[in-house]
A = this chain, B = another copy of it.
Amino acid sequence: MGAKNGQEFISRIDQLKPEIWLDGRQLEGPLSKCQEFKGLLKTKAALYDYQTLPENSAEMTYRSPVSREKIGISFLQPTTKADLTKRRTMIDKWARQTCGLMGRSPDYLNTALMSFASSASFLEGKENCFPENIQSAYERAREQDLTFTHTFITPQVNRAKFYLESSEEPISAKIVKTTTEGLVIKGAKLLATQGGLTDEILVFSAPKLLPDPDEAFAFTLPSDTEGVRFICRESFTNGASTFDYPLSSRFEEMDSIVVFDNVLVPWDRVFFYQNPEAASQFFSISSFHPFTLHQVITRQVVKTEFMLSVAKLLVETINIGEYSHIQGKVSEIIISLETLKALLEKSEHDAQPDQWGYMRPSIIPLQVASNIYPAVYPRFSEIIQLIGASGMVTIPTEKAFQSDIQQDLAQYLQSATKSAEDRVKIFRLAWDLTMSSFGTRQTQYERYFFGDPIRLAGQLYRSVCSDSSYCMIESLLGPLEKCPE
């Protein structure tokens, strides 16, 4: 056991029989043969292969404290700053295999589970809380190198400030019964990326203003549990040609609505239930945010490097590097890249051990990065479109280059520094990154990765502005007295 390779990944996935609905039909046959999923699964298999290559072993794996098997470093519970660097290195390596474009590469949820386990003691002795189930879920995942997705968003029915669901039947997934065997869940959750395409699914509820106890729970289930149904959006794979769709053919992850049709969650799968206060505190006190943000920002740094290299390659291809507005636009990406790298490193340098002895990256620099990225990523996409200009539209397909008009293309689509074929490949890459349905979904994904940007700013404001000492100002104005109120 321990860290698995690509083949093991595929064979395990192909044994699953999840209920997945796509474009009005239910999937049949092994997942890895499905047109819409095979590109993604192949890419994930390559990640697993990568970690098991002997030359990568040191950077990608460590020895299980239990089994002594080599296991993936994304499961590592860090206790030193060096451990954080190790984690970052591993995350960075995987991210480079996918140009940072796989938002739900396995290390993301491995990290989430690791953080839950590292803070599980918080739930010790609290009503309806089972920290031991968190620990065992984590260990099972770690030792078997299981893949996960997660789902936690409430359906977007009504986004008014004060809204209470009033439907007779549940819309948002709820506990409708508790039995001796476990919880029974009915309703839906949004948006499980790779929903149905992983071994297991982690389900929990994001804290909210007016919590309903029946919506306060967390658990894991195998993806093919009875009554769990994944309803896919339209696929953005576009096609199988890596010439035409260099990104969507490989990295389209799919998002799905998860329906729970009276699903039984066995007790030994439940992390906690019907204790909104504990649930809410757990998310703010646990290391979930610092560790997952650390993973996410590491990936986003790589993605930003990739965006920068695409921008630079376009500039080089049509030879426009002399224009100051072009230099300015490319510099914007450089500035964001260096900023994100600096914030990420600062979060490690300023790391502190938490109350359970785990070394947590400092949260403020990561929060800052998570406020920056949703604003700059769409701008990167825009910059690439502005650099590409009309070239983003002049994009014949692979087959055109194999047809009788290939001479025309060779002559009329050549560029200052590239053959027509290379030039069209480059522009199609830029298009797939920013203008295909895959590319725009990437933009929307990064824009909302951390939630509503306005809420993020509010959180950061509160993190920093609780302190109200005004040393420098008082050195100028003298001590400021408060009015009697």
Contacts and interface: CB of A to CB of B under 8 A. Distances in A.
B342 A396 contact: no
A465 B448 CA distance: 26
Interface residues on A, range: 35 or more
A151 B349 CA distance: 39
A341 interface: yes
Interface stretch (A21-29, A57-65, A125-133, A208-216): A21-29
Given A338-B364, A349-B345, A371-B335, A392 B188 contact: no
Given A231-B409, A334-B368, A437-B435, A465 B343 contact: no
Interface string A470-483: 11110111001111
Interface stretch (A1-9, A70-78, A107-115, A321-329): A321-329
A319 interface: yes
A325 B322 contact: no
Contacts of A325: 324-325, 454
B396 A481 contact: no
A176 interface: no
A188 B327 contact: no
Interface stretch (A136-144, A239-247, A268-276, A277-285): A239-247
A187 B429 CA distance: 26
Number of this chain's copies in the assembly equals 4
Contact of A393 (B191, B246, B328, B342): B191
Given A335-B372, A395-B233, A461-B327, A400 B24 contact: yes
Residue among A394, A417, A468 with most chain B CB within 10 A: A394
A229 B405 contact: yes
A255 B412 contact: no
Contacts of A443: 385
A96 B472 contact: yes
A291 to B, nearest CB: 19
B436 A390 contact: no
Interface in A322-359: 322-325, 327-328, 330-331, 334-335, 338-339, 341-343, 345-346, 349
A422 interface: yes
A164 interface: no
Contacts of A390: 153, 156, 190-191, 444, 448
Contacts of A229: 405, 408
A399 B334 contact: no
Contacts of A452: 389
Contacts of A244: 234
Interface stretch (A34-42, A217-225, A308-316): A308-316
Contacts of A327: 457-458, 461-462
B476 A99 contact: yes
Nearest to A364: B338
A182 interface: no
Contact of A394 (B97, B191, B315, B465): B191
A25 B398 CA distance: 11
Contacts of A435: 437, 440-441, 444
Given A23-B396, A306-B472, A338-B364, 20 more contacts: A24-B403, A156-B390, A156-B391, A160-B320, A171-B414, A188-B408, A231-B396, A257-B412, A259-B405, A309-B473, A315-B465, A327-B457, A334-B460, A334-B464, A335-B460, A338-B368, A385-B440, A414-B483, A434-B440, A436-B437
9 contacts: A159-B319, A160-B416, A255-B394, A341-B346, A345-B349, A385-B444, A389-B448, A422-B483, A434-B440
Q: Report the 8 A-B pairs with minimum CB-CB distance, sorted nearest first.
A: A24-B399, A342-B342, A435-B440, A158-B416, A24-B403, A188-B412, A327-B461, A331-B457
Interface of A: 21, 23-26, 96-97, 99, 153, 155-161, 163, 167, 169, 171, 187-188, 190-191, 229, 231-234, 242, 244, 246-247, 250, 255, 257, 259, 261, 305-306, 309-310, 312-313, 315-316, 318-325, 327-328, 330-331, 334-335, 338-339, 341-343, 345-346, 349, 364-365, 368, 371-372, 378, 382, 385-386, 389-405, 408-409, 411-419, 422, 425-426, 429, 434-437, 439-441, 443-445, 447-448, 452, 454, 457-458, 460-462, 464-465, 468, 470-473, 475-477, 480-483, 485
